[in-house]
Amino acid sequence: MSDMGVTYPKGFLAAGIAGGIKKNGAKDIALVFSPSPCTCAGVFTRNIVKGHSLQLSQKHAAEGVAKAVFINSGNANACIGEQGNYDALAICEMLGSALGCPPNMILPGSTGVIGVPLPMGKIARGINKALDHMSEDGGAAAAQAIMTTDTHPKESGAEIIIDDKPVRIGAMAKGSGMIYPNMATMISVITTDIKIKKHQAKALIKEVADLTFNRVCVDGDTSVCDMVLFMANGKSNVSYDQCPEQFKNALVDVCTKISRMLAKDGEGATKLLNIDIKGANTAEDAKLIAHAIAKSPLCKTAAFGQDANWGRLLTAAGYSGAQFDPNLCDVYIGDLITCKSGTAIIFDEEAALEILKKDEITYTIDLNQGTESYNMWTCDMSVEYIHINADYRT
Amino acid sequence: MSDMGVTYPKGFLAAGIAGGIKKNGAKDIALVFSPSPCTCAGVFTRNIVKGHSLQLSQKHAAEGVAKAVFINSGNANACIGEQGNYDALAICEMLGSALGCPPNMILPGSTGVIGVPLPMGKIARGINKALDHMSEDGGAAAAQAIMTTDTHPKESGAEIIIDDKPVRIGAMAKGSGMIYPNMATMISVITTDIKIKKHQAKALIKEVADLTFNRVCVDGDTSVCDMVLFMANGKSNVSYDQCPEQFKNALVDVCTKISRMLAKDGEGATKLLNIDIKGANTAEDAKLIAHAIAKSPLCKTAAFGQDANWGRLLTAAGYSGAQFDPNLCDVYIGDLITCKSGTAIIFDEEAALEILKKDEITYTIDLNQGTESYNMWTCDMSVEYIHINADYRT
């Protein structure tokens, strides 16, 4: 647990409380609030099916100004019909009224089971409880409240000093199943006290999500409720224009840490896998190969089994849709070369096992055909993944 | 076990013997032989990485005439470099010499571990043993010898009567992991005693594979050694031109049975899943949705858990890349509707459980937007799938 979450930047309050939505009594309502209006931006799932809360958040975020983020876990508020839209709006109205702002300055999010109406009585009581508990130390509780099958909360933060003034970034995220890139791959809230314009925030979060969140894969399934929300309240009195590179680097750093946490805490995961594709003719080829490996149940189960089965890596590359000559490819497990120029070589199986026993492994394919590269973070696929997902609803 | 395998049509001999390639002493060399030359055709993996035996088979099949198919299990003869090509050719030379035909009338195939050279001493002795064991009743033994992680051999056959003459089709297949369509998804050998021209055979097997084998998905991984070989020796004295529709229908029937067997015997599978997509605007949309569901670990683990989690089906449809309005979609588990017009409805959970307990389940999404449809066969994903694949090489 870090103390560098969403309340790390100046001027943010947060709460995480148990509202009775989750059957096990765990925290399930998170609130993040900045009394000063924030520039906001977001990236949202590209799934055609979209949760009702997410749809409203997307609409509100498009206006570029927000004061609060509300997230409940335990229920996705998805595939409910018109009632789902009313419920999301009711949440914004309740919170707007309590926080003294219009409902369109509230960004709602929901995550959990699809197709069950939100328990609005519990939500209403939960909102009041969350308002009572809001504090400058509430980041950690909020990070706990957005968890679903996560085994631990995920927070990160960074501080940079610009003209002797501290600028801070804080982040929390949830998500360990139904995670696949090319959208905002989970729910994450990023707060900062930098001053930034709406169009800058929008472009920045899109660019950084492509470098970080969109490179995480747990199971290839793209959720209907996933989003990254970015809230900047300007309280540092430092403007983004003073330090665009420094701020971006700090944001990439925070989002990279969060992304690695998400992959490492993938459902049932025992290992973080870094997929590193180099020497491609085009970046798109490298990306296709990285995606194919990151999604392959065979590559992921071999990692779980600590089996140096590099043939599955090359096989996944081969069917990825990328264009390349397999006879030029080298395949590495950690720093151990296992296949040279597309041909098996004799390698030290014991050295391979030592590498595969670790809780973080890098798989590298060097195509030796160009200069383009791409990387992804994923996890192994274990027996526990099946247990978690075979009985999720019940 | 059926007696309608590759020796069911007139004029085919086969053998399946243990050559010591598999560590456990099981059968691992299969031979199918027609003393009369056959018109042959094949469909081959679209993986860029291709096994050495498969590459040679593809070359020989392109010539359109063959007498024998040789398949070893236990070793894929893939990613070995030039030695792999020499070994595949040596097999064809040994067999051609013994069977009295040029090497290019032998179609070799290998399936098993990637990156380990073929044990050619064992192979040479195994070829002699197989030649000794060839018989008109050898189809079942051949079907056993091509198995890898299959739990049982797969055979099917059909007979049609044309002008009072019987025309027969026999088939065997292997494959229960690394199976994913848009290529010949596993190794299958189809024999028939019909008379058919080369270009007809080629077009027919392509069309039928698209309707059958290419609709099977176990794990989304496309192997480097997969192929369907079709051998027609003309011994029925019936020509394809006399009965193109009847023969095609019989072939589709045989290949459908084999495809369903492959899906049902997917690694670790406890159930066959029929994915049935209807009412799409385009066939491509229906296909995209069927593929997304068939590949989704979340949909497949829910089936294993007998969980009526229709939200995961709609979610997979949503990220499939298909264009559709989710608010028109109905989702069925068996004949039980669980989601109407994109909205959850209350359904009888006990009735759903009764459906989900069966060893065959149909998931249907009716998009209600057009008239196009697509179907696929897949299986659930179980704890056993992980066990099988975590330790495959060792």
pLDDT at A218: 62
- Asked whether residue A342 falls in the same domain as residue A237, the answer is no
Interface of B with A in 99-138 (CB under 8 A): 113-117
Q: Does A301 touch chain B (CB under 8 A)?
A: yes
pLDDT at A92: 98
pLDDT at A319: 86
- Asked whether residue A26 falls in the same domain as residue A43, the answer is yes
Q: Does B244 touch chain A (CB under 8 A)?
A: no
Nearest to B390 among A305, A322, A391 (CB): A305
CB contact under 8 A, A312 and B221: yes
CA of A316 vs chain B CAs: smallest distance (Å): 7
**Residues 6 or more apart from B189 whose CB is under 8 A from it?**
B6, B32, B69, B71, B142, B171, B172, B173, B228, B229, B231
- Asked whether residue B23 falls in the same domain as residue B151, the answer is yes
Q: Is residue A55's pLDDT more than 50?
A: yes
Q: Does B392 touch chain A (CB under 8 A)?
A: yes
Nearest to A219 among B76, B297, B338 (CB): B297
Give all strands (DSSP E) within chain A, no chain letters: 13-17, 29-44, 65-73, 106-111, 154-162, 165-174, 187-192, 227-232, 272-280, 330-333, 336-340, 343-344, 360-366, 372-379
CB contact under 8 A, A390 and B314: no
- Asked whether residue A246 falls in the same domain as residue A383, the answer is no
CB contact under 8 A, A314 and B79: yes
ipTM higher than the 0.95 cut:
no
Strand partners, A195: A239
- Asked whether residue A284 falls in the same domain as residue A236, the answer is no
pLDDT: is A175 or B275 the higher one?
B275
Q: Is residue B256 part of a domain?
A: yes
Q: Is residue A41 part of a domain?
A: yes
Nearest to B315 among A47, A381, A392 (CB): A47
Q: What average pLDDT score do residues A215-227 get?
A: 69
Nearest to A222 among B223, B314, B319 (CB): B319
Q: Is residue A235 part of a domain?
A: yes
Q: Is residue A247's pLDDT more than 90?
A: yes
Q: What average pLDDT score do residues A366-373 get?
A: 97
Query: Hey, is B336 helix, strand or coil?
Result: strand
Tokens of B92: 């064809």
- Asked whether residue B213 falls in the same domain as residue B101, the answer is yes
Q: Is residue B55 part of a domain?
A: yes
The percent of residues in chain A predicted with pLDDT above 70, rounded, is 94
Q: What average pLDDT score do residues A144-155 get?
A: 90
CB contact under 8 A, A314 and B391: no
SS3 content of chain B, % helix, strand, coil (to 5): 35, 25, 35
pLDDT: is A190 or B217 the higher one?
A190
Q: Is residue B254 part of a domain?
A: yes
Q: Does A178 touch chain B (CB under 8 A)?
A: yes
Q: Which of A42-46, A112-116, B236-240 has the highest mean pLDDT?
A: B236-240
Interface of A with B in 57-96 (CB under 8 A): 76, 78-81
Nearest residue to B189 (alpha-carbon basis) of B63, B394, B7, B359 = B7
Nearest residue to B76 (alpha-carbon basis) of B40, B32, B108, B105 = B108
pLDDT tens, N- to C-terminus, chain B (394 residues): 447 899 999 999 999 999 999 999 999 999 999 999 999 999 888 787 888 999 999 999 999 999 999 999 999 898 899 999 999 999 999 999 999 999 999 999 999 888 899 999 999 999 999 999 999 999 999 999 999 888 889 999 999 999 999 999 999 999 865 554 332 247 899 999 999 999 999 999 999 998 888 888 765 556 666 788 999 999 999 999 999 999 999 999 999 998 888 888 888 889 999 999 999 999 999 999 999 999 888 899 889 999 898 988 998 999 898 999 999 999 999 999 999 999 999 999 999 999 999 999 999 999 999 999 999 999 998 888 888 777 655 5
Q: What pLDDT band is residue A115 in, cutting at 50, 70 and 90?
A: confident
Q: Is residue B75 part of a domain?
A: yes
- The domain that contains B204 carries what CATH number? 3.60.70.12
* Cβ(B190)–Cβ(B165) below 8 Å: no
- Asked whether residue B294 falls in the same domain as residue B156, the answer is no
Chain A residues in contact with B315 by the CB 8 A cut-off are 47, 49, 114, 178, 221-224
Strands A106-111 and B227-232: what pairing? unpaired
Out of A244, A264, A284, a domain closes at A264
Please tell me which residue in B185, B191, B192, B222 is annotated as part of the active site: B185
Domain total of chain A: 2
Q: Is residue A145's pLDDT more than 50?
A: yes
Task: Reply yes or no on whether A185 is catalytic.
Answer: yes
**Residues 6 or more apart from B139 whose CB is under 8 A from it?**
B3, B4, B5, B6, B7, B8, B12, B14, B155, B170, B172
Q: What pTM does this model have?
A: 0.81
Rounded to an integer, what distance in angstroms lies between the CA atom of residue A182 and that of residue A360?
Answer: 24
- Asked whether residue B81 falls in the same domain as residue B131, the answer is yes
Q: Which of B55, B281, B319 to mutate to test the interface with A (most CBs of A within 10 A)?
A: B319
pLDDT at A1: 42
Mean pLDDT over each residue of chain A, to the nearest integer: 90
- Asked whether residue B53 falls in the same domain as residue B159, the answer is yes
- Asked whether residue B217 falls in the same domain as residue B289, the answer is no
**DSSP-assigned states of every residue in B133-162:** H-BTTTHHHHHHHT-SS-SS-EEEEEEEEE
Range of the domain at B85: 13-262
- Asked whether residue B254 falls in the same domain as residue B313, the answer is no
Q: Is residue B7 part of a domain?
A: no
Out of A212, A229, A264, a domain closes at A264
- The domain that contains B321 carries what CATH number? 3.10.20.340
Q: What pLDDT band is residue A54 in, cutting at 50, 70 and 90?
A: very high
Nearest residue to A302 (alpha-carbon basis) of B239, B163, B219 = B219
* Cβ(A106)–Cβ(A59) below 8 Å: no
CA of A356 vs chain B CAs: smallest distance (Å): 12
- Asked whether residue A245 falls in the same domain as residue A303, the answer is no
Q: Is residue A392's pLDDT more than 70?
A: no
Q: Is residue A128 part of a domain?
A: yes
Out of B262, B280, B299, a domain closes at B262
A70-101 per-position pLDDT tens digit: 999 999 898 899 999 999 999 999 999 999 99
